[in-house]
Amino acid sequence: MRLMSTRGPDSAGPGGRPPGTPRESPARRGHASGAPPLPDEDEDEGRDSLIDVPGGVRLQKVLAAAGVGSRRHCEELIGEGRVEVDGEIVRRYGARVDPQHQIIRVDGMRIPSRQDMVYLALNKPAGVLTTMSDDRGRPTIADFLGDYPERLYHVGRLDYDTEGLMLLMNDGELAHRLAHPSYGVLKTYLADVPGPLPRDVGRRLLSGVELEDGVASADKFRVVEQAGSRALVELTLHEGRKHIVRRMLAEVGHPVSRLVRTHVGPIALGSQRPGTTRPLTTREIGELYAAVGL
pLDDT tens for 120-169 read: 999 999 999 998 888 998 999 999 987 776 788 888 889 999 999 999 99
As a whole number of Å, the end-to-end CA separation of the chain is 19
The one-letter amino acid code at 268 reads: A
- In this predicted structure, the answer to whether residue 103 has a pLDDT above a threshold of 80 is yes
Residue of higher predicted confidence among 39 and 213: 213
- Average pLDDT score over residue span 83-95: 92
Residues 6+ away with beta carbon under 8 Å from 98: 53, 56, 57
For residue 140, CA distances in Å to 143, 184, 280 come to 6, 28, 21
Burial of 14 from C-beta contacts in 10 A (0-12 / 13-18 / 19+): exposed
- In this predicted structure, the answer to whether residue 28 has a pLDDT above a threshold of 70 is no
Across 11-20, 78-87, 253-262, least confident range? 11-20
- In this predicted structure, the answer to whether residue 276 has a pLDDT above a threshold of 90 is yes
Q: Give CA–CA dist 233/181, Å, rounded.
A: 23
Output the pLDDT for position 272. Answer: 96
Output the pLDDT for position 47. Answer: 61
Residue 72 backbone phi and psi in degrees, to 5: -65, -45
- Average pLDDT score over residue span 187-202: 94
Output the pLDDT for position 192. Answer: 96
In eight-state DSSP terms, residue 140 is B
Question: How many Cβ atoms are within 10 Å of 128's Cβ, its own excluded?
Answer: 24
Q: Percentage of the chain surpassing pLDDT 70?
A: 84
- In this predicted structure, the answer to whether residue 219 has a pLDDT above a threshold of 70 is yes
Q: Give CA–CA dist 292/284, Å, rounded.
A: 13
Q: Percentage of the chain surpassing pLDDT 90?
A: 66
Q: What pTM does this model have? A: 0.78
- Dihedral (Cα; 63, 69, 72, 73), 10-degree rounding: -100
Residue of higher predicted confidence among 288 and 27: 288
> What is the chain's mean pLDDT, rounded?
84
Q: Which residues are catalytic, by number?
A: 159
| 33 confidence band (pLDDT: 50, 70, 90) | very low
- In this predicted structure, the answer to whether residue 200 has a pLDDT above a threshold of 80 is yes
Cβ–Cβ under 8 Å, residues 239 and 183: no
Closest CA to 267 of 168, 196, 199, 171: 168
Output the pLDDT for position 149. Answer: 65
- Average pLDDT score over residue span 261-280: 95
Q: DSSP per residue over 155-201, as a string?
A: SS---TT-EEEEEEES-HHHHHHHH-GGG---EEEEEEEESPPPTTH
Output the pLDDT for position 22. Answer: 42
For residue 215, CA distances in Å to 157, 190, 199, 219 come to 20, 21, 21, 13
